[in-house]
């Protein structure tokens, strides 16, 4: 692939420049459309895709084995000479996607989205990631026409706050590996019994009207990702002693809109969440590594979020 960096990453506060070559397709970024109207069109397209494409289901019959994204083969139904779809070939081996995917719903940018997930290893038992974790993953991204626009042959680590929104919704519902990491004889890292599947995302949970330059992705394109989810590790993005997923105070899976002291710095990037002049890390009075359980004035608000806590008991 010509893209040297993951096309998934969308930085919250800084841009990412993606390498591209002159022969890659460029698209002009159009003005954003109404998200609700676009979601209706995207969902119709996704349902049509799922109803007219199938996968090699029997290839994953042995649940004791660990499979890879390369083992997943998605094909379009055959057509007759007039372009009409024919019946599913080899139904003992294949299955229509629409029969095996799970329909899920989320809210993003004040819009309700349906998206679809094919879970090929429901027996994975490792812990599920938080939506702000680093995840270790292998993936392959493709367009509905089958063109692969990005892939990684080896596991990479991605911060889930820096990926397209659909990834956060999907991956926090999948389990990580039961065992690993182990070092294979060839020096690669191995895992077993990991989260494994395919996600089918509308453009509103992907790049919407502004896909990354040089990727060959047109605006308003639905995307498909095969993936192997290996591991997850919680983040503390501002090193204040409070894990980032705990800084989602309103519980909406969006840590950018939680700003206790209203200083335009969200709590997960703010080392002094309540703006009282005492760093959050120093409001851990009992020194247990957790500032969330210290409440000097016993008002039910932990000191690190309480500007009016008894500061005489705090260490600056």
CATH number at residue 164: 3.10.50.40
Instruction: Check pLDDT > 60 for residue 5.
Output: no
Return d(Cα 141, Cα 289) in angstroms, integer. Answer: 39
In this prediction, residue 150 carries a pLDDT of 96
**Residue-by-residue DSSP string for 193-246:** S-EEEEEEE-GGGTTTT-PPTTS-PPTT--EEEEEEEEEEE---TT-SSS-GGG
Tell me, what's the pLDDT at 26?
65
Q: Are residues 143 and 241 in the same domain?
A: no
Query: What pLDDT band is residue 113 in, cutting at 50, 70 and 90?
Result: very high
pLDDT higher than 50, residue 315: no
Number of domains the chain is built from: 2
Taking residues 240-252, report their average pLDDT. 95
Q: In this structure, are 227 and 109 located in the same domain? A: yes
Mean pLDDT of all residues in 276-298: 91
Residue 25, pLDDT score? 59
Residues 50 and 149 in one domain: yes
Residues 300 and 193 in one domain: no
Looking at every residue in the chain, the average pLDDT score rounds to 90
Out of 185, 211, 233, a domain closes at 233
Q: Could you list the residue range(s) of the whole structural domain that residue 266 is in?
A: 236-316
pLDDT at 219 over 50: yes
Tell me which of 208, 233, 258 is where a domain ends. 233
> Do 191 and 242 belong together in one domain?
no
What sign for the dihedral angle of Cα 122, 118, 54, 85? positive
Q: Are 209 and 33 in contact (CB under 8 A)?
A: yes
Q: Looking at the structure, tell me whether residues 252 and 199 fall in a common domain.
A: no
Residues 141 and 171 in one domain: yes
**Residue 19: per-residue pLDDT:** 35
Query: Do 184 and 242 belong to one domain?
Result: no
E strand segments, 38-188 = 53-55, 74-76, 95-96, 102-108, 111-119, 134-142, 148-151, 156-159, 179-183
27-43 pLDDT, tens digit each: 788 999 999 999 999 99
- What is the mean pLDDT of the segment spanning 168-195? 90
d(CA 310, CA 303): 8
Is residue 258 situated within a structural domain? yes
148-151 vs 134-142, strand pairing mode:
antiparallel
SS3 content of the chain, % helix, strand, coil (to 5): 20, 20, 55
- Which whole number is the average pLDDT over 52-80? 97
pTM of the model: 0.86
pLDDT at 287: 87
């Amino acid at each position: 692939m010509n893209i040297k960096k993951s096309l998934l990453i969308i930085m919250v506060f800084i841009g990412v420049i993606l390498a591209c070559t002159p022969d890659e397709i460029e698209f002009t970024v159009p003005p954003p459309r109404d998200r609700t109207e676009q979601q209706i069109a995207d969902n119709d397209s996704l349902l049509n895709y799922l109803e007219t494409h199938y996968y090699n289901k029997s290839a994953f019959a042995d649940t004791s084995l660990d499979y890879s994204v390369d083992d997943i083969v998605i094909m379009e139904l055959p057509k007759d000479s007039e372009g009409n779809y024919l019946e599913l070939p080899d139904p003992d081996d294949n299955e229509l996607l629409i029969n095996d995917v799970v329909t899920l719903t989320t809210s993003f940018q004040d819009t309700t989205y349906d998206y679809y997930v094919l879970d090929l290893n429901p027996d994975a038992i490792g812990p599920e990631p938080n939506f702000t974790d680093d995840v270790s993953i292998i993936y392959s991204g493709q367009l509905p026409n089958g063109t692969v626009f990005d892939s990684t042959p080896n596991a990479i680590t991605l911060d889930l706050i820096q990926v397209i929104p659909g990834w956060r919704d999907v991956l926090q519902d999948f389990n990580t590996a039961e065992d690993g990491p182990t070092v294979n004889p060839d020096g690669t890292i191995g895992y077993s019994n990991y989260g494994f599947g395919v996600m089918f995302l509308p453009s509103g949970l992907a790049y919407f009207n502004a896909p990354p330059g040089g990727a060959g992705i047109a605006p308003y394109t639905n995307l498909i990702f095969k993936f192997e989810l290996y591991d997850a590790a919680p983040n503390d993005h501002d090193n204040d002693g409070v894990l980032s997923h705990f800084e989602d105070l309103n519980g909406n899976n969006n840590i950018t809109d939680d700003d206790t002291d209203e200083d335009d710095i969200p709590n997960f990037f703010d080392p002094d969440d309540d703006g009282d002049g005492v760093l959050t890390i120093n409001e851990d009075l009992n020194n247990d590594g957790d500032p969330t359980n210290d409440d000097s004035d016993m008002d039910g608000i932990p000191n690190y979020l309480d500007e009016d806590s008894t500061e005489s008991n705090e260490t600056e």
